[in-house]
Structure 1
Amino acid sequence: MYSGKLACACALDGRNWMYPVAWAIFDSDSNANWTWFMEELKKAIGHLPGLAISTDEGMGFRDKNLAESYDEWTMNIKDMPLVDIVDRLRQMTLEVWYKRRSHGSKLSGNILPAVIQQLKAEAASLRNIKVCRCGLQTGEVSGNSQDMRPWRHVVDLNEHTCSCGEWQLTWKPCLHALAWITTEADADIESFVHDYYSVERFRAAYSGMVPPMIDKSRWPQVDPGFKLLAPLSKQGAGKRKYTTKANQEPGASEQHQCEQYGEVEHCEKGCTLHCPKKRKRCQAEESWKAEDGASWDGAS
């Protein structure tokens, strides 16, 4: 509503829920603004090994869902004034963290139950998978795709890797690894899932508390040392400006000066002579019509 930009850095928790990390509001999508935002973000989260940042322009399916979730989450507050929208974002984060902190206190076990349920459902859907062991925890897993094309991957249960690459990327056993794990009589899927999906880390993610605040009418008055004025409105691109000059002669038509070309021409309604480009185009069209008419006359 106020022509600003709401930028946000979001992550995913072990439950695959959106986790708001930081947000900011600036006037435009400029390099300077985004550089400032990323510098402040680095100060807030520090240097994290293995950190990957994806923008909403170059995101995958998972990241796209994350951006859509955030847009839906903030849909009803984007028309608020600047101070109110930031305060409401703080309240919304406070509420979300409290609900998930309460949810985490009721969980038991090592790995989040929702993750284990997902992996067991995937394992139950496996059909006609063959495991060929060449070591205690290393071997080949093969099968056929839906269009009956054969496939084969190398799985290492000790290193938690698969040649498909999915296990290394998501830190959860892929279908090929699950095919092997579930063939064991005492299979323990939890032991093959990364701590990222642990109940302990989920609780730690929401262990902090967003401080409550009184309403803005009781906030301390701060003198910034300058007077903050309303932002300048931006004129839409693609429109040429014309300045009008009053003519002293009575009955004379208005004079318009084209800012792009600097010429002053009269401008009646529907007339195209006020801009040199249009005048040249009109003259060319008239010449073409005259030549075309002459050729038709000669043909008749």
Structure 2
Amino acid sequence: MEKNPNSYINVEFDQKSGSFVRYFISFCACMDGFNYCWPLLFLDGTFLEGKFKGNLLAATAKDGNQGLFPVAFAIVDSENSANWEWFLRNLKEVVGDGRTLTFISDRHVGLLQSMPNIFPSAHHGYCLFHLQMNLRDHMKYVSASHKVGLMRKLRDCAYAPTVACFNEKLEALKKSSTVVIENFLKDLHPKHWANTYFRGQRYGEMCSNAAEFFNNWVRDAHQLPITKLVDMIRGQIMEPMAECRVKCTKWPDVICLKMEKKLTMAYNDSRSWCVSQANDNVYEVHSHPSILVDVARRVCSCFQWQINGFPCSHAVVAFRDSGRDIHESIDHAFHIDTFKETYNGTIYPIPTMGKPSSTPTDYMIMPPAVKRPPGRPKRKRIPSRGEVVQHIRSGRCRKLGNNNRKTCKEPI
């Protein structure tokens, strides 16, 4: 808090034992930068492998160049409903209520329970990859090829752009395995996973890949003690932010580099298409099939412009024939000026040179109590030699050879 003012930190510890419970942090530079990112957050947790175990929960966004932008993270004892609710309540203090947010997660029960209460106006999308894995787990005594086929058909349903197309794909999915699919979709409303019914804006992101990438990005820190882990993650966020601040100054265009490349590819794909003009804003693109584009409303009848939040090939060719500047109709989140504002803040180092040395009289938070992982048997106590000899003399154990405790047939 001294080196990075206005950051948000919440540390909880047991009042009786003084031991660590959980920790949440969002640096001021991340809080300010998220205001210029997509209003989209990926939520995920991963195991920690150090001495104190626990879990790392993270909220990750994407910048206008589709780059990873960590917003907040927390260290908790386990990934359960109480900790996810606590994480979301702290996250709300960071992201505020200024924008309608979209969350993408792996459908953890803690998120399903607490999300509607803490972020009532937000949209919650389910990770398609996790849904496919859940569907696979629902199928027993089924060949691998059949499982892959059902997972592919579920993916087709998720990507369907219209209601008619969705119903067609869903019918094909149900015909493949009626009982399994009906049980799987019983409590799974398509408004959380299908493009047709999803009302939020997730910019074409169907999976929580950004959150998974963040977990892999900080994997080297998973085995460190808590304070070292936090400081290593701080350094890993600090350095890329400085690099992004420099590299965007070399971009020559109006929008970010990756998005400019996508725009060029869309233009090359649509170069041979003919366009007919209906009025100042509406155009018909003679592709296969014929497509309607309204450049003023930013809609296309292929629905890819609306789903991805970025002009499709039909929109690009319509702008080409209209003589308008397409950059003016692209979401400002993809502009270089917005990208610069995203990385305008700085995460400052925390040098140990000026750190005051602690004394026994200082109040310190003790390490957390390490819980035995579920399913791991308790370590058996090895009896002493005297106990083994006494056990043998009692007549309850058959003596084999010398007094070797390994030959004892009865428990002590």
| TM norm. shorter chain > 0.5 | yes
Q: Structure 1 residues 210 and 241 mapped into 2: Cα distance closer, same or farther (>3 Å)? A: closer
Aligned length: 251
- Residue of structure 1 in register with 2:77 after alignment: 27
- Residue of structure 1 in register with 2:177 after alignment: none
**1:194 aligned to 2:331?**
yes
**1:132 aligned to 2:276?**
yes
AA at the equivalent of 2:345: G
Unaligned runs of 5+ in 1: 145-150, 255-266, 270-300
Following the alignment from structure 2 to structure 1, what is the Cα–Cα distance between the partners of residues 378 and 370? 19
Question: Quick check: 1:108–1:199 contact (8 Å CA) kept in 2?
Answer: no
Identity among equivalent positions (%) equals 24
- Residue of structure 2 in register with 1:116 after alignment: 260
- Residue of structure 2 in register with 1:165 after alignment: 303
- Residue of structure 2 in register with 1:284 after alignment: none
Question: Quick check: 1:116–1:189 contact (8 Å CA) kept in 2?
Answer: no
- Residue of structure 1 in register with 2:340 after alignment: 203
* Cα shift at 1:122: 1.8
Question: Quick check: 2:256–2:336 contact (8 Å CA) kept in 1?
Answer: yes
- Residue of structure 2 in register with 1:12 after alignment: 62
Question: Quick check: 2:65–2:257 contact (8 Å CA) kept in 1?
Answer: no
Following the alignment from structure 1 to structure 2, what is the Cα–Cα distance between the partners of residues 54 and 36? 18
Following the alignment from structure 2 to structure 1, what is the Cα–Cα distance between the partners of residues 262 and 337? 19
Q: Structure 1 residues 28 and 190 mapped into 2: Cα distance closer, same or farther (>3 Å)? A: same
Q: Structure 1 residues 191 and 73 mapped into 2: Cα distance closer, same or farther (>3 Å)? A: same
Following the alignment from structure 1 to structure 2, what is the Cα–Cα distance between the partners of residues 96 and 219? 29
Following the alignment from structure 2 to structure 1, what is the Cα–Cα distance between the partners of residues 219 and 376? 30
Following the alignment from structure 2 to structure 1, what is the Cα–Cα distance between the partners of residues 342 and 333? 10
After the TM superposition, which of the residue ranges 122-131 and 85-94 deviates more from structure 2? 122-131
Question: Quick check: 1:172–1:194 contact (8 Å CA) kept in 2?
Answer: yes
1:218 is aligned, of 345, 352, 355, to: 355
* Cα shift at 1:203: 0.7
Deviation string, structure 1 residues 163-211 (Cα, Å, up to 9, x no partner): 3332223332112212322334x45321221111111110110111112
Q: Structure 1 residues 225 and 56 mapped into 2: Cα distance closer, same or farther (>3 Å)? A: same
Q: Over aligned residue pairs, what C-alpha RMSD do you find?
A: 3.4
Q: Structure 1 residues 154 and 71 mapped into 2: Cα distance closer, same or farther (>3 Å)? A: same
The TM-score with structure 1 as length reference comes to 0.71
- Residue of structure 2 in register with 1:69 after alignment: 213
- Residue of structure 1 in register with 2:185 after alignment: none
Q: Structure 1 residues 227 and 240 mapped into 2: Cα distance closer, same or farther (>3 Å)? A: closer
Question: Quick check: 2:253–2:260 contact (8 Å CA) kept in 1?
Answer: no
AA at the equivalent of 2:329: F
* Cα shift at 1:101: 0.8
Q: Structure 1 residues 230 and 158 mapped into 2: Cα distance closer, same or farther (>3 Å)? A: closer
* Cα shift at 1:69: 2.4
After the TM superposition, which of the residue ranges 97-106 and 128-137 deviates more from structure 2? 128-137
AA at the equivalent of 2:311: P
1:95 is aligned, of 234, 239, 258, to: 239
Deviation string, structure 1 residues 97-137 (Cα, Å, up to 9, x no partner): 11111122334443224322321122102365343332221
Question: Quick check: 1:172–1:192 contact (8 Å CA) kept in 2?
Answer: no
Aligned to 2:290, what secondary structure does the other structure show?
A: strand
Following the alignment from structure 1 to structure 2, what is the Cα–Cα distance between the partners of residues 224 and 27? 25
Q: Structure 1 residues 235 and 69 mapped into 2: Cα distance closer, same or farther (>3 Å)? A: closer
**1:143 aligned to 2:284?**
no
